[in-house]
Chains A and B, each alone.
Chain A
Amino acid sequence: MKQELVAMLLAGGRGVRLSKLTKSVAKPAVFFGGKYRIIDFTLSNCANSAIKTIGVLTQYEGASLTEYIGDGQKWGLDANGSSCVVLAPGENGDGCYFYNGTADAIYRNLSFIEKYEPEYVLILSGDHVYKMDYTKMLHFHKSKNADITISAINVPIKEASRFGIINANEDYSIYEFEEKPENPKSTLASMGIYIFTYKKLKEYLEKENKNDRKEHDFGKHVLPTMLKDNCKMFVYPFDGYWQDVGTLDSLWKTNMDLLDSDELGLLNPNSTWKIYTQDSYSPPQYISSSATVSNSIINQGCYIEGNVKHSVIFNDVKIEKNAKVIDSVVLPGSIIKEGACVKKCIINQNIVIDANAVVNDDDKKICLVDGGEVNG
Chain B
Amino acid sequence: MDKILGIVNLHSDCNFGNLTSKKSIATTSFLGRYYFIDFILSRFTNCNINSIEILVKNNPVSLFKHLSVGAKEWSVNTQTGGINFMYNELESKKNYLNTDFNTLLHNKKYLYNYNHAFVLFAPCEIISNINYQELMESHILSGKLITIAYKNCSDELDLFTGVDKVNLSDDGKSLKYFSKDDSNPDVYMETFIIHRTKLIEILENFDLDDEIPTLKDIISYAARMGDVNVYKYNGMMRYFRNIENYIDYSLQMLNPETYKKLFDSNNPIYTREYNSIPTIYGKNANVTRCYIANGCNINGNVSNSIIGRNVIVEKDATINNSIIFSYAHIKSGSIIEDAIIENSTVVEEKVKIKGNIKKPAYIQS
Contact = CB atoms under 8 A, between A and B. Distances in A.
Q: Does B bind A?
A: yes
Interface of A: 33-35, 266-267, 269, 274-277, 279, 281-300, 303, 308, 313
Given A285-B293, A308-B281, 13 more contacts: A276-B275, A277-B275, A279-B273, A283-B262, A286-B256, A286-B259, A287-B289, A289-B289, A294-B282, A297-B281, A298-B292, A299-B279, A299-B294
B292 A287 contact: yes
B282 A287 contact: no
B276 A285 contact: no
Given A274-B275, A281-B270, A300-B33, A291 B281 contact: no
Contacts of B275: 274-277
A296 B288 CA distance: 15
Contacts of A277: 275
A303 B263 CA distance: 12
Nearest to B304: A289
B117 interface: no
A34 B292 CA distance: 15
Contact of A269 (B270, B277, B288, B290): B277
Contacts of B277: 34-35, 266-267, 269, 297
A285 B256 contact: no
Contacts of A292: 286
B291 A285 contact: yes
A299 B286 CA distance: 17
Contacts of A283: 31, 33, 259, 262-263, 269, 291
A298 B33 contact: no
A34 B291 contact: no
A281 B74 CA distance: 10
13 contacts: A35-B277, A266-B277, A269-B295, A274-B275, A276-B275, A284-B32, A284-B292, A286-B259, A287-B290, A289-B288, A297-B278, A299-B279, A313-B278
A291 B287 contact: yes
Nearest to B262: A283
Interface residues of B, number: 37
B353 interface: no
Interface string B3-27: 0000000000000000000000000
Contacts of B280: 267, 296-297
Nearest to B264: A283
Contacts of B254: 286
Contacts of B288: 287-291
- Binding site secondary structure of chain A: loop
Contacts of B295: 269
Give the interface centre of B33, B269, B288, B291 by most chain A CB atoms within 10 Å: B288
A343 B125 CA distance: 45
Contacts of B294: 35, 284-285, 299-300
Give the interface centre of A274, A283, A293, A299 by most chain B CB atoms within 10 Å: A283
Give the interface centre of B269, B280, B306 by most chain A CB atoms within 10 Å: B280
Nearest to B288: A289
A202 B293 CA distance: 49
Interface in B186-206: none
A256 to B, nearest CB: 14
B284 interface: yes
A297 B284 contact: no
A288 B293 contact: no
A283 B254 CA distance: 12
B322 to A, nearest CB: 15
The 5 closest A-B pairs by CB, nearest first: A34-B278, A299-B278, A284-B33, A283-B263, A279-B273
Nearest to B259: A286
A294 B281 contact: yes
B268 interface: yes
Contacts of B268: 281-282
A298 B276 CA distance: 12
A287 B273 contact: no
Contacts of A299: 278-279, 294
B283 A269 contact: no
Contacts of A275: 275
Contacts of A274: 275
A317 to B, nearest CB: 11
Contacts of A281: 268-271
A303 B288 CA distance: 12
A282 B290 CA distance: 16
Nearest to B283: A295
Contacts of B283: 294-295
Give the interface centre of B271, B275, B282, B283 by most chain A CB atoms within 10 Å: B275
Contact of B282 (A34, A284, A295): A295
A284 B31 contact: yes
B319 to A, nearest CB: 13
Give the interface centre of A34, A286, A287, A308 by most chain B CB atoms within 10 Å: A287
A284 B297 contact: no
Nearest to A259: B280
B310 interface: yes
A313 B294 CA distance: 12
Nearest to A271: B277
A284 B263 CA distance: 10
B346 interface: no
B285 interface: yes
